[in-house]
Amino acid sequence: MPDTLDLNGKVAVITGSGKETGIGACIASTLARNGALVTINYVSDASAPRAARVAEKIREQGGRATVVQADVSTAKGSKELIKRTLDAFEVDKIDIIVNNAAGGAPHGALQATRDSLDTIFSTIVYAPIFLLQAAVPHMPHGSRIINIGSIASKLGMASTAIYGAAKAAQDSLTYSLAMELGRSHGITVNTVSPGPVGTEALPKDVAAKIDRMLVPMTRAEERLGTTNDIADAVLLLVSEKSRWITGQVISVSGGITGG
C-alpha cells in the first residue's frame, strides 16, 4: 500500500475560514483537495459572501464543503457549528477540528481595554474549549485537533502583547489537551504556529513593522510565509502519518523559532 496523506471520508471543521485569502480558507481547500469533507465557518454577516465563495471554489475543484455561520466563542455557537456539520454531511462523526478563528486587532498592553481583552481571549482561548466540548463526543479514535497559534506567543513583541498572551494560553491548552484527550479518547492535539504570513489579518502598519523585524530572521528563505506553507503543515499533522505526534507547538515560520 503506497504512502499517502489521503483524508477520504474525514469530516473537518475549520473555524475562521470564511475569507478567501486567509489561512483558514487555504487549510479548508487543502484538506478538501485531499478528500476531506470540510465546513467553512464564519461569524459576521459581512463575511457571508466571502465564505460562500470559499466553499464554491472547493466544490469547483471537486471537493465537498458546507458553510456555517456560528460564533465559536460561545458554547451555543460551537454546538450549532457541530450540529450543522453533522446534518450537512449526514454523518455521526467529526474527525478533524482546526481552531483557526482569531478576533481583535493586535495591540500593546497600554492600549488594552476590557472589551479588547475579552474579544481576543474569547476567540483564541475560550472558543477552542467550547468547540471541543461540542465536538469530542462525536470524535472517533484517531481524530485530530489542530490549534493555529503564532510565534507571537514566544517573541514578546510590544505591538502584539495581548494577542501573544492569548496565543501562549492556547499553547498551554495544547499541552494539557494532548494529555486529557490522548489515552482516554485517542485524539492528538497539536499547534501550528505561523510566522509572518501575507494575509489581510493584520493592520497594514502593524504588518509592515512585523515584516521588517521578522523576515530577516527567517532561515529557509528571506520572504513572508504563505497560506500554503501553513496549510501543508496542517495537512501533515491531521494525516495518519502523524499518529505519534501530539502535545507539540510547531513553528512554521521558515526558521523563526522565538526561542
Task: Point out the residues that are catalytic.
Answer: 163
Counting Cα atoms < 13 Å in the Cβ hemisphere of 52 gives 6
